Amino acid sequence: MSSKNKPKKTLDCIGLFCPEPLFQTRESIDSIEKGEILEVLADDPAAEEDIKRFAKRTGHEIITFEKRDDSMRFLIKKTK
Catalytic residue, candidates 18, 32, 41, 62: 18
Catalytic residue status for 13:
no
Nearest CA to 14 among 73, 75, 61?
Answer: 73
Distance between CA atoms of residues 70 and 55, nearest Å: 22
Which sequence positions are flagged as catalytic?
A: 18
